[in-house]
Structure 1
Amino acid sequence: MLDSLTSGVALFSIAAIVIAMAGTFLSRTADELADKTGLGEAMIGTLLLAGATSLPDFAATLSAAVDGRPELAMSNIFGSIAVNLAFLGVGDIIYRKANLEHAAASAANLTQAALSIALLAIPLIAMTAPSVTFGRIHPATPLIVIAYLFGLRLVRRSQRAPMWSPRMTRQTIEDVPATGRGGGGLSALWLKFAGLTAITAASGWVLMEAAKTIADRTALSESVAGGVLTAVSTSSPELVTTIAAIRQGALTLAVSNIIGTNCFNMLVIAAADLGYRGGSIYHDISSLQLLWGLVAIWMTAILLLGMVRRETYGIGKIGFESFLILSVYAATLLIMIAAG
């Protein structure tokens, strides 16, 4: 698509800016839809916003897989999952009233975090298990889809009829639908959301095409290009929407967007295996992707424990869990860059 490093960098930058701008409007529209449809922030964040903000990852990862570049494809998606969790740490720094894990704790968010860990384990097991395929597809791929759909049912049930709920404190922000909001009718909101989603998805595909050029024209390995360069850029909607949701006071939406996106990204991994023509994509990648996956599980477990522990304030009103998540991510980046 591109024949020079200059054009690759220019197009990459433009696509990243478009993704970031679209993410801001996506968050506002999703919050309005959560109120007007009555679905609530947790389900809108898990299904709608997570799916929309994951589309750049979907387009970028599938593009690399179809192009026969499994390392670039998988490093992008695993790196995106890890950086999304780091974005929650950034959100905790921005939200000054209390630790984000305390204020946004809910049964639905806890269920999503546990689901994310369970889903992440499936491709990691596939990587270390024998390479068995049926029509070029590894058995782990349909298992991811089945587990995701069943997990959504559990999340919905935990929201509708929770068997327990976190103790309410002055710092806890409940998901209470706002009344008398503007923004036009429901149909107009759906059209607006669909348009922004299409722009975000197209920008994600352009971003990966530019990243391929940058990787080919420089000394960057595909592990670094995917796990750092494209992962951060295609995940920028998650950062923008999370910050926007926090500033709007929609804390449940902010957290469910991140965790829901990571769950949805597991479907992206399944799609990458379907699109890859060289057999099982899980066995054509380096051990660095196994490291990304294990780190993502570790970071999710820290977040889950933080929402259970519910520390009200940390040092400088930053939760210990957020500090630990950011530290783990920074250390992993250094390892990846050194190895690449």
Structure 2
Amino acid sequence: MTTSAWPFVPSVLALVGMGVVIVLAGVRLTRVADSLAERTGLGDALGGALLLGAVTSLPGIVTTVTGSLEGDPGFGLANPVGGVAVQTVWLAIADLVYRRANLEHAAASLENLLQALILVALLAVPVIAYATPDLRLGWIHPITLLIPVVYGYGLFLLRRLQKSPMWEPVLTSATEKEGDGPEASHARMSSLWLQLAALGLVVGVAGWVIGQAGLGVIATTGLPSTLVGFTFTTAITSLPELVVLVTAVRMGIPTLGVGNIIGGNTFDTLMIGMADVFYLEGPVYREAGDPSLVLLGGTMLMTAVLAGGLVVRDRKGIGFEGFVIPLIYLSTVGLIYATG
């Protein structure tokens, strides 16, 4: 399935316009999701993973599906992996906004740490698929079916951990406690769910526009689709996560913001499976080329550093992860450009 590419100028204007739409929707998303997280009993970390993680990932989902259906495996695969990478970089930016303490210190929670470990496991699955290109189940790789299974089991572990934690981080004066932050909205639950659905529809449509505009940029500039997918389009489709993170931090609920990033990253790995399902010419992994391994390796390394930051918990200022994560991201982009 291919359509004619959009011209360069309309593509750039569409990317900018959808960025504005996503930013505006993201601010409201934070407040709605925070109220739902408290009133449903999910808590900030798990609520950030399920409610915000899923909805804020919609632009990336639609962009990924668009790229795969249009027959560009590099673009299709680079979008979800790039989304995980750039959203992890957002944490370093949010660290600058949260002046009270190191963000990972304040948002330390077992749920966020476990989600980071689940994310590393999910990112390892496509690496195995890349190394076994001859395995097929119809037009997809059979290991694609493992991605939602691992994700679902990860959610089960998160819920079990929340009910009966076996250990907990040391609480300090800079650690956010569950229930901190603004009082939940008194709006009816049905109204909150409708607002969440409407905002999800808005950012979903924005994702389709971003996908078409990104393909237009690739066609008119000749830039590698892996590079465009890993940087430009993911930076825009990941704006909801940035807006939600910064808004949550400024509202005094950093655990919700960090949970949104890590939970959104975990949810984004489902898009890797979608890229394979909607790329109808065969398994997407090998078709995306060797740069896809660079993306996966760099993103796994960033996630491992983030998990280390949640464990070490530097008390003041930006921790080591605040410097190392952006450095790994820039190095990964440089390697993609050099090999593209």
TM-score (norm 2): 0.95
Q: In the alignment, is residue 333 of structure 1 matched against residue 336 of structure 2?
A: no
Structure 1 partner of 2:266? 263
Structure 2 partner of 1:169? 172
Deviations 1:145-172 (A, max 9, x none): 1111001000111112111000111111
With 110-119 and 88-97 compared, the bigger mean Cα shift is at: 88-97
Distance 1:190 1:76 in 2: 28
Deviation at 1:239, TM superposition (A): 0.7
CA spacing shift, 1:218–1:183, aligned 2, 3 Å: farther
- Give 1:45-56 correspondences, 5 Å limit: 45-56=48-59
Structure 2 partner of 1:218? 221
- Give 1:119-158 correspondences, 5 Å limit: 119-158=122-161
Q: In the alignment, is residue 99 of structure 1 matched against residue 102 of structure 2?
A: yes
CA spacing shift, 1:178–1:334, aligned 2, 3 Å: closer
Deviations 1:52-84 (A, max 9, x none): 011111000011111111011111111111111
Structure 2 partner of 1:299? 302
Deviation at 1:177, TM superposition (A): 6.2
Distance 1:253 1:132 in 2: 40
Aligned pair partner of 2:211 in 208, 215, 221: 208
Superposed CA RMSD: 1.5
Deviation at 1:333, TM superposition (A): 2.2
- Counterpart residue type for residue 327 of structure 1: L
Deviations 1:100-126 (A, max 9, x none): 111111111111011000111001111
Distance 1:234 1:318 in 2: 26
Contact 2:294-2:336 at 8 Å conserved across structures: no
Structure 2 partner of 1:25? 28
Deviation at 1:337, TM superposition (A): 3.1
Deviation at 1:131, TM superposition (A): 2.2
CA spacing shift, 1:19–1:150, aligned 2, 3 Å: same
Distance 2:66 2:6 in 1: 18
Distance 1:204 1:49 in 2: 16
CA spacing shift, 1:73–1:160, aligned 2, 3 Å: same
CA spacing shift, 1:198–1:274, aligned 2, 3 Å: same
Deviations 1:153-207 (A, max 9, x none): 0011111211100011111111216685435211111111110011001101111
- Counterpart residue type for residue 34 of structure 2: D
- Counterpart residue type for residue 326 of structure 1: P
Distance 1:58 1:264 in 2: 10
Distance 1:181 1:132 in 2: 50
CA spacing shift, 1:127–1:311, aligned 2, 3 Å: same
- Counterpart residue type for residue 106 of structure 1: S
Distance 1:161 1:249 in 2: 26
Q: Which runs of 5+ in 2 are unaligned?
A: none
CA spacing shift, 1:183–1:202, aligned 2, 3 Å: farther
CA spacing shift, 1:320–1:177, aligned 2, 3 Å: closer
Deviation at 1:290, TM superposition (A): 0.7
With 128-137 and 113-122 compared, the bigger mean Cα shift is at: 128-137
CA spacing shift, 1:163–1:22, aligned 2, 3 Å: same
- Counterpart residue type for residue 163 of structure 2: R
Distance 1:2 1:298 in 2: 34
Aligned pair count? 337
- Counterpart residue type for residue 144 of structure 2: T
Contact 1:35-1:178 at 8 Å conserved across structures: no
Distance 2:273 2:133 in 1: 17
Q: Percent identity?
A: 39
Which SS does the other structure have where 1:174 is aligned? coil
- Counterpart residue type for residue 120 of structure 2: I
Deviations 1:227-276 (A, max 9, x none): 11111111111111111111111111111111111111111111111111
- Counterpart residue type for residue 253 of structure 2: A
- Counterpart residue type for residue 173 of structure 1: E
- Give 1:223-302 correspondences, 5 Å limit: 223-302=226-305
